[in-house]
Structure 1
Amino acid sequence: MQEPSVLSLKNRWTRYSVVIVLATALVAAAVGFIWVPLANNRQAGLSLWDAICSAAGVAGGATSSALGDDAAARPSNVIVSATMMRPANAESIGRGATLAMRCTMCHGIRGVSEANSPNLAGQIEGAIYKQLRDYQSGHRVSAIMQPMVTLLSDRDMRDLAAYYAYLPHEREPAAAGRTPPQLVSNGAPMRNIGACASCHGGYAQQTATPILDGEPEAYIRNQLHAFRNGARRNDLNQQMRNVARQLTDAEIAELAAYYAAR
């Protein structure tokens, strides 16, 4: 009697091999997309489906359907590009300084806050402009900021951004020589988290990505929690929400303390 071909399913060893491979793939998928995401996101209170979506780097269906508004479908109406900001000149900086007089209570006389509001002195111009636009359009929600920007023209917002970007970064780095957390320097590839330093600050400054160095610890911590629970969702392509969903409370506290001390 002729033996079946090695590649034929009639061969019992071939059948055993196929079954073992399929079983291994199913176990790996269950561990990678169910057990590990649930373990990592237990503190975030995610459902099973949202945890799976988070592991895959996409937004969960329950969160998206619950929003159901323009801000959920389109996180921002600002087109971010290398040419989105015009070159600042003395006139725009001067106008911005005049407009900024309304902002001193929260953001300080020279853009350095004493009220756990973001420090704006030396911030990326495009980042300030984008956030002002998002507050005005409702893509970023704040009971304080939205009334402040309602009547601002596009020129007003550009001039404010130019003024604050012009101001010197007055905060002294207190973390010089300090080893950054693993999430800052290398991220967590197994959890689909890129290094924070790849976007924020240093040589990786991007058009509308804010510098985090020296920002108030409470502000950074609150924003990471807001991204994680979906209260803030004006990040293009959901990059911050996808990262924050993976972070534990301890990791958020560590990141906030590190950047605040820089």
Structure 2
Amino acid sequence: MNEPLFSPKNRWFTVSVAAVVAIAVAAAAIGFVWLPRAHARAAVASLWDSICSAAGAPAPYRSPGLPEEKAVFPTTVIVASEFTGPIDNVAVGRGATLALQCSMCHGARGTATVGTNTPHLAGQPPSSTYKQLVDFKSGHRPSAIMQPLATNLSDQDMRDLAAFYSQQVRESLTGHAGIKVDVPRIASNGSPMRNVGACATCHSPGVARAATPILDGLPQAYLVDQLKAFKSGRRANDINQQMRNAAHGLTDAEIDVLAKYYASR
């Protein structure tokens, strides 16, 4: 007697369904559990984390270089353009006194000496300088040089330093004199197909985006190092991972071109 095709009593139907279910379970176990754990850069905390990771659910950023309470977020600072408050002569004066201990690397007025590969602070937006100092102090931006120096700075000290440097004019560097570099397409237009935004969108001097440094005139070696640090994840104090996402899609050749371009300005 022939049984209906879609019936539990039909042996072929039952075997086929059981085989499909078994394959689906095995595929889910491999795709959602084994592969995420096998290829994770760090140990996955739980089975649920493995499943969420495989499904593409965003997870909190964790840096192995930070204590657990600091590793949840890549930075603790969220600033607006007016975050540092009004800049007055008193704040600039206090900042000038504090900046004496910074002059060996960053110059007397925030313009580093040619060849030191130290970033220029003169003319940088106060919110940008303030954010980096806070990140150095908290450990969200590791640095063997800056962390010990920032440790003893109070919040007001960091605001005063940021105010002082924002009022300084970056000096022209003889090492960059006469260098003419065409604007790289990656700087002006980005690469939308690779999810790389135009650098000029955030880093042009006229944009004045909060907590975003001006790249013009920064040392070429410094820019290369920072872009590669963002690309590799060695530096991770960018809010919402915008720099890591952008730098991840850059080639080493594009990094060199961008660094040369901004250093020449």
TM-score, structure 2 as length reference: 0.72
| 1:204 CA displacement | 1.8
How far off its partner does 1:177 sit?
A: 7.3
Q: Distance in 2 between matches of 1:84 and 1:59?
A: 32
Q: Partner residue of 1:209?
A: 212
Partner of 1:77: 76
Is the 8 Å Cα contact of residues 72 and 233 (structure 1) preserved in structure 2?
no
Structure 2 unaligned segments of length 5 or more: list them.
1-37, 42-55
The answer on whether the counterparts of 1:71 and 1:234 sit within 8 Å (CA) in structure 2 is: no
Q: Cα RMSD between the aligned structures?
A: 2.6
Kindly indicate whether residue 229 of structure 2 is the aligned counterpart of residue 226 of structure 1.
yes
Q: Which of structures 1 and 2 has the larger relative contact order (alpha carbons within 8 angstroms, sep 6+)?
A: 1
Q: Distance in 1 between the 2:198 and 2:190 partners?
A: 4
1:148 paired to 2:152: no
Equivalent in the alignment of 2:99: 100
1:138-174 superposed Cα distances (whole Å, 9 cap, x missing partner): 1100000000011110000000000000111223685
Cα offset, 1:202, TM superposition: 3.1
The answer on 1:87 being equivalent to 2:86 is yes
Q: Deviations over 1:55-103 (max 9, x none)?
A: xxx9998x85866845542111112123311111111100000000000
Amino acid at match of 2:256: A
Report the counterpart of residue 13 of structure 2 in structure 1: none
Residue 109 of structure 1 corresponds to 108
Task: Check whether the contact 2:230–2:244 (CA below 8 A) recurs between aligned residues.
Answer: yes
How high is the sequence identity, in percent, across the aligned residues? 52
Unaligned 5+ segments in structure 1 are 1-46, 51-57
Partners of 2:107 and 2:260 in 1: CA distance: 21
Match of 1:195 among 179, 187, 198: 198
Structure 2 CA distance for partners of 1:104 and 1:49, relative to 1, 3 Å: same
> Aligned partners of 1:59, 1:205: CA distance in 2, in Å?
33
What residue is the counterpart of 2:138 in the other structure? 137
Contact 1:180–1:258 (8 Å) recurs in 2: yes
Q: Highest CA radius of gyration, 1 or 2?
A: 2
Deviation by residue 1:184-240 (Cα, 9 ceiling, x = unmatched): 000000000110000002322201100000000011000001101111000000000
Q: How many residues align?
A: 208
Q: Is the 8 A contact 2:81 2:127 kept in 1?
A: no
Q: Secondary structure at the match of 2:141?
A: coil
What is the TM-score of this pair, normalised by structure 1? 0.73
